[in-house]
Amino acid sequence: MQTEDLVALTTPAALVEVDTMTANLDRMADYVKRHDLALRPHIKTHKIPALATEQLRRGAEGVTVATVREATLMADVCDDILVAYPPVGSARLDGIMTLPESVRLTVALDSATALDALSTRAATAGRIVGVLVEMDVGMGRVGLGDEGDIVELAARASDASGIEFRGVLFYPGHIRQRVSEQEQALAELGSLIEARIGALTDAGLAPETVSGGSTPAAFASHRIPGLTSIRPGTYIFNDRTTAQIGACGSRDCALTVLATVVSTAIGGQAVIDAGSKALGREPLRSTADGGGFGEVAGRPEVIVRAMSEEHGILDLTRSDWRPAVGDRVRIVPNHVCYVVNLHPQLYATREDRIVERWPVVARGWT
């Protein structure tokens, strides 16, 4: 493809600096290699098969997905897929079971209801589906929190027809404090995982896979005893939240939303054409409030203070910078996964040139 100048691009538009993304991918691939961990990136962050291919080319053992659409589209480039979402409801079960036979399929779940329905479908289809029992480790979203319940569901999985019990999975989404302040949470997590692996092993159900990992705690994964595989997603692009907690540097944020200044009529602010439709109304998770909805790249003192759907209000009160109507700015979003889901395509860039367009094919909730 011929490169194009960014000047011609209609805003708002999501840009990805390819060299920054490549460095992020290389850093994680190098980390897991050094610590003998498997990497199974969550592709919910990018939803683009070509980017999953980049992750696999760097040694990822497979990919993690949340939706049937993500699974279906990733099956074109990957033959080892983990569905890290409870397979409840016939649409989800049908979708999973229609993945090509060549795909080694693993599903995370936390109930006998979900397990039994999956087992019935797998046995009918004459297919073996792997199961990871999902454990809650403090986030309080999904996953069993009681050791006895975990062992019981693992035993049920190992006896179920059409099912192969492959181990356990957890998401440490509660560890979102600054990296320098994660010490205690990591120690508690390590003890919990060790105890649960011990209980499973005592019951004759030693897990072959212990799958964990999120971007905020990714580079501490080697300190969790028994962990075999990690599933970070955000790390490919990073975002303002990740930088604020010190899990990456501000220069490691590869995705920005390009926007145009459309009004400076009111003092102390500039209005851009990226509002909640382009940035998402995601709070900065590392601050209680007042953190805004994004910041201007290279000017962290200028935040998106408020938004309507098509308007983003830049707060200029802490800056001498005064953009003019028609100027373009890049916004570092608070939560990049959310932003990607809002955009039909990402523009891969090198400095001010567009080098490729990536349709975000796996967008949506199904």
Binding site residues, ligand PLP, CB under 6 A: 42, 45, 64, 84, 171, 214-216, 231-235
Compute the least distance from the CB of residue 42 to ligand PLP, in Å: 4
Whether the Cβ atoms of residue 346 and residue 14 lie closer than 8 Å to each other? yes
Which C-beta is closer to ligand PLP: that of 236 or that of 272? 236
Half-sphere exposure of 322 (CA within 13 A, CB side): 6
Compute the least distance from the CB of residue 54 to ligand PLP, in Å: 16
What is the residue whose two structure tokens read 């990607």? Answer: 340
What is the residue whose two structure tokens read 């800056």? Answer: 319
Whether the Cβ atoms of residue 272 and residue 305 lie closer than 8 Å to each other? no
Which C-beta is closer to ligand PLP: that of 84 or that of 270? 84
Distance (Å, whole) CA 4 – CA 12: 16
165: closest CA among 201, 230, 117, 209? 209
Compute the least distance from the CB of residue 214 to ligand PLP, in Å: 3
Compute the least distance from the CB of residue 330 to ligand PLP, in Å: 21
Compute the least distance from the CB of residue 234 to ligand PLP, in Å: 4
Compute the least distance from the CB of residue 231 to ligand PLP, in Å: 4
Compute the least distance from the CB of residue 288 to ligand PLP, in Å: 20
